[in-house]
Amino acid sequence: AADPTCGSGSLLLRLKNYANICNYYGQELTSTTYNLARMNMILRGIPYRNFNIYNGDTLEHDYFGDMKFRVQVANPPYSAKWSASSSFLDDPRFSGAGKLAPSSKADFAFVEHMVYHMDDDGRIAVLLPHGVLFRSGSEDTIRRYLIKDLNVLDAVIGLPANLFHGTGIPVCCLVLRK
């Protein structure tokens, strides 16, 4: 199981309640939170050999390499900024749609990253702001690519405002599978 924006690891650790998870992979940008995720794994009884948590920017430096995962979850930072450098059009994670997520909103960049790492029988659940459902421009192109070309969108679950601590906006859960 993997979470490319694992934070303290709590969402990733919750998976063991619902699936037979042997190995946990995560990546976290903030160093102190990265260390907290590693500590949480140990405190929850996950042997150190069964988890790999990486410290770094998931979009700028993909520590997952060529690994594919059967189960992925994420609650990425909503509408985060990223470089959206044109060099990413050559990155296999982002090249399929022919457009990059805008530098002011990396939401679809995280989704594309996860789809790239999805195993043939993989499943993804990712929480995102509602805006991903209707924003135009390159996000519309990427959304169409995921739906029409890859056919990976399985469900969209709309969630109400004020459901999560730290944000009052309504969010959605995209469920993806091959």
pLDDT in tens, 46-68: 999 999 999 999 999 999 999 99
What is the rounded distance in angstroms from the CA atom of residue 127 to the CA atom of residue 120? 22
- Triad 162, 131, 18: Cα angle to 5°: 60
- The predicted pLDDT at position 92 comes to 97
Sheet holding 51-55, edge to edge: 51-55, 24-28, 2-3, 69-74, 118-129, 171-177, 153-159
pLDDT band at 160 (very low <50, low <70, confident <90, very high): confident
Mean pLDDT of the region 159-176: 83
Mean pLDDT throughout 13-38?
95
Q: For residue 149, count other CB atoms closer than 10 A to its CB.
A: 10
**Quick one: which H or E segment has residue 143?**
helix 138-144
What mean pLDDT comes out for the span 110-114? 98
> Between residues 159 and 95, which one has the greater pLDDT?
95
The predicted structure's pLDDT at residue 122: 96
Q: Which of 28-42, 44-58, 137-151, 163-177 has the lowest mean pLDDT?
A: 163-177
Instruction: Give the helix/strand (H/E) hosting 154.
Output: strand 153-159
pLDDT at 164 over 90: no
| DSSP reduced 3-state for 58 | coil
pLDDT tier for residue 165 given thresholds of 50, 70 and 90: low
Per-residue pLDDT band for 74 (boundaries 50, 70, 90) equals very high
pLDDT at 163: 76
The reported pTM is: 0.95
Instruction: Examine the pLDDT at 168 and tell me if it is beyond 90.
Output: no
pLDDT at 169: 82
> CB under 8 Å to 125, separation ≥6 — which residues?
72, 73, 74, 173, 174, 175
Write down the pLDDT at residue 146: 98
Of 93, 154, 143, which Cα lies nearest the Cα of 121?
154
